[in-house]
Amino acid sequence: MRILYAIGSWGLGHAARSLPVLEALQADGHDLTVISSGRALLMLRRELGDRCEFLDWPHFPHTVGRSAAALYARTAVALPAMLRVMTWERQATRTLLRRRRFDRIVSDNRYGVQDPAVPSFHVTNNVRFLAPGRVAVLEWALEAFNYAWFRGLRRVIVPDTPEDALAGDLAHRLRIFPSRLLAYVGLLSPVRARDTGQDLDVFITISGPEPQRSLLERLVRSQLASIPGKVVVTRGRPEGSDVERVGAVDVHDFLGRKHQEEMMNRARVIIGRPGFSTLTSVAEVERKAVFIPTPGQTEQQYLAAFHHARGAIYAAPQARARLADAIDAAVQRSGLTARVKTAEAVRRVVELIRAG
């Protein structure tokens, strides 16, 4: 089959969790055309090389705010641009389909890349967006917005289990979506658990859109000397390939998936943003974690608080994060685990796409 696979560009998370699915589809003999942009597209090119055709399409802006009021204001300002890009994506998809035949369309955070004439799927952990302050009426409207865009799809693929292992209210306790539209497949992580031994005390993975990526890096660098043991840092910049030695710490511009997998398996504690891709990777390797949510990013703040309250991880607000103390607290927590891991989840996704 010829498959059009579109991937969002908010940080690297959507691209990272798409990689095992893309590779499985390639192994299944399908011809892939991949849409993305920015650092996500750069990472996909590095990982997949010339095995896919790539299209560089713009993505809608990612809004964050330091408070609920700031997020509301910035989202209101950005909303017309978001809708324009989503509408443009839909029109560009139709134009592409007039020129070329595709048998399936899969999208991960690219709302406009779908078409009623081609069996279409959307991968998301955000079946419902959470409103700052958890305003019930607004969250109902946000879920209704998603359903309006997704109701023509064959399935919405949710990288979680029906038992609510990871996503919480983002994908569970829904009020509008019919269950027949949702396929809970399990974890989709770019890394796999390996028996490497845990000879690394702390692995710090920095990620996300600017300027918050740089702010987290500044925080980490300012406290590296206070973290005991063996520490490795990745800056999440796929455009770079340098390794800097800071005291006894190796700071990598970027780690490819295999090296990232190695570090996560070797580490006793992982520090990073609680983006859903990082969350699933920590659950895949079943490690302890310190999560520092992006200020003003409602999803990350919710996920960090949700799993902190469950006793699984330690959540540290960026403004008050003391990494050495947070590591000590995280070691006392249970860590993240998963019932259905990536290998089985990928098999389920490929079967859904193949069945159409």
> b/e map of 33-59 (b: 16 or more CB within 10 Å)?
bbbbbbbbbbbbbebbeeebeeeebeb
Three-class secondary structure of residue 107 per DSSP:
strand
> b/e map of 95-113 (b: 16 or more CB within 10 Å)?
ebeeeeebebbbbbbbbbb
pLDDT surpasses 80 at 121: yes
CA distance 241 to 333: 34
pLDDT confidence band for 60 (50 / 70 / 90): low
Domains defined for the chain, CATH in brackets: 2-187+340-355 (3.40.50.2000), 200-331 (3.40.50.2000)
pLDDT surpasses 70 at 109: yes
Instruction: Say what the pLDDT of residue 256 is.
Output: 87
Q: Tokens 């592409």 identify what position?
A: 96
pLDDT surpasses 90 at 238: no
Q: Please, which residues bridge with residue 269 across strands?
A: 202, 288
Q: Please, which residues bridge with residue 206 across strands?
A: none
pLDDT surpasses 80 at 91: yes
Instruction: Say what the pLDDT of residue 70 is.
Output: 57
Instruction: Say what the pLDDT of residue 164 is.
Output: 81
pLDDT surpasses 90 at 81: no
Q: How far is CA 83 from the centre of its chain?
A: 21
- Residue 14 · residue 299 · CB < 8 Å: no
pLDDT surpasses 60 at 73: no
In this structure, how many other beta carbons lie within 10 angstroms of the beta carbon of residue 156? 20
Phi-psi region of 168 (alpha: psi -120 to 50; beta: other; left: phi over 0): left
- Over the chain, what is the mean pLDDT? 91
Instruction: Say what the pLDDT of residue 83 is.
Output: 74
Cα separations in angstroms, 99 against 96, 112, 353: 5, 18, 22
Instruction: Say what the pLDDT of residue 45 is.
Output: 93
pLDDT surpasses 80 at 209: no
pLDDT surpasses 90 at 311: yes
Q: What is the pLDDT of residues 249-260, one digit of tens each?
A: 999 999 988 999
Instruction: Say what the pLDDT of residue 132 is.
Output: 78
SS3 assignment for 238-284: CCCCCEEEECCEEEECCCCHHHHHHHHHHEEEEEECCCHHHHHHHHH
For the ranges 161-165, 231-235, 289-293, the lowest mean pLDDT is seen at: 161-165
Q: What is the pLDDT of residues 17-28, one digit of tens each?
A: 999 999 999 999
Q: Choose among 226, 236, 334, 232: nearest CA to 289.
A: 334
CA distance 285 to 195: 10
pLDDT surpasses 90 at 347: yes
